[in-house]
Homo-oligomer: A and B are copies of this chain.
Amino acid sequence: MAIAKTNEFEKEAIYLADIAKALSHPARIQILKILTEMNVCMCGDIVELLPLAQSTVSQHLKELKRVGLIKGDIDGPKVCYCVSPESLNKAKKEFEIIFNHYTCKGAKSCRTKKK
């Protein structure tokens, strides 16, 4: 990537991009779905539901944990995963801000301003 310029952008943009990155793989979207639909949260259960190896699923879980969207409680040899309602709510609100902001104002097409 040559030299990452990540730090030269706006804080809000960096936060949103980071959440979006965590959501940018189908496996991670499905993991979020699984974690809420079943309230069983074991890694092994998820592995059975996805076409991926255990180690790969573990990596995806780690990425979701990194941004705080899920939590993992150690329960003996198992780890019990669940979504974090707080951070999911925060992300929801942040995304609403861009989406609403942009959809409200952005209706004017380029075509209209051709001089």
Contacts and interface: CB of A to CB of B under 8 A. Distances in A.
A62 B77 CA distance: 46
Nearest to A30: B13
Contact of A92 (B33, B85, B99): B99
Q: How large is the interface on A (under 10, 10 to 19, 20 to 34, 35 or more residues)?
A: 35 or more
Nearest to A51: B8
Chain A interface main SS type: helix
User: How many chain copies does the complex carry?
Assistant: 2
Given A5-B52, A20-B23, A25-B17, A106 B83 contact: yes
A47 interface: no
Interface in A59-115: 71-73, 75, 80-83, 85, 88-89, 91-92, 95-96, 98-103, 105-111, 113-114
Contact of A102 (B32, B51, B101): B32
Given A51-B5, A99-B91, A110-B82, A17 B26 contact: yes
A106 to B, nearest CB: 4
21 contacts: A12-B29, A13-B33, A16-B26, A16-B29, A17-B23, A17-B29, A18-B24, A20-B21, A21-B25, A32-B98, A36-B101, A36-B105, A39-B113, A71-B109, A82-B108, A82-B110, A83-B102, A83-B106, A88-B102, A91-B99, A92-B100
